[in-house]
Amino acid sequence: MSRSRLEVLTELVEKNPKDSFARYGLAMELAQQAEFDKALEHFRTLLKSNPDYAAAYYQAGQLLKEIGQTEEARRLFQQGIEVTGRQGNFHAQSELRAALEEL
């Protein structure tokens, strides 16, 4: 019997908690399964350990928006805009700006 994506990602994060890609995947999978608190916990851990992980700002902000935590979503989008500006990642920055404007 094959393991679920959630099981695989959880194991990857347990084996290497600093693996940003695996943690991001786990957060996304948890969000998809409506495990919002757990997903946010992993997004927050990811951004604390890797504050340059631009995609996490957008996805965590969208999740916060979805569950009605607009002010925290606004803060994350703004932080993401700053990060992507420093990185020169203008595509991601424009997506974050658009998300912020939709709040």
CATH number of the domain enclosing 88:
1.25.40.10
Range of the structural domain that residue 46 is part of: 5-102
Domain count across the chain = 1
Using CA atoms, how far apart are residues 46 and 57, in angstroms rounded to an integer?
10
pTM of this structure: 0.92
Q: What is the DSSP string of the chain?
A: -PPPHHHHHHHHHHH-TT-HHHHHHHHHHHHHTT-HHHHHHHHHHHHHH-TT-HHHHHHHHHHHHHTT-HHHHHHHHHHHHHHHHHHT-HHHHHHHHHHHHH-
Residue whose C-alpha is closest to residue 75's, from 52, 103, 53, 48: 103
Q: 20-32 and 36-49 are packed helices; what angle lies between their axes, rounded to 10 degrees? A: 160
Per-residue pLDDT of 49-92, as tens digits, reads 999 999 999 999 999 999 999 999 999 999 999 999 999 999 99
Task: Give residue 97's pLDDT band: very low, low, confident or very high (50, 70, 90).
Answer: very high
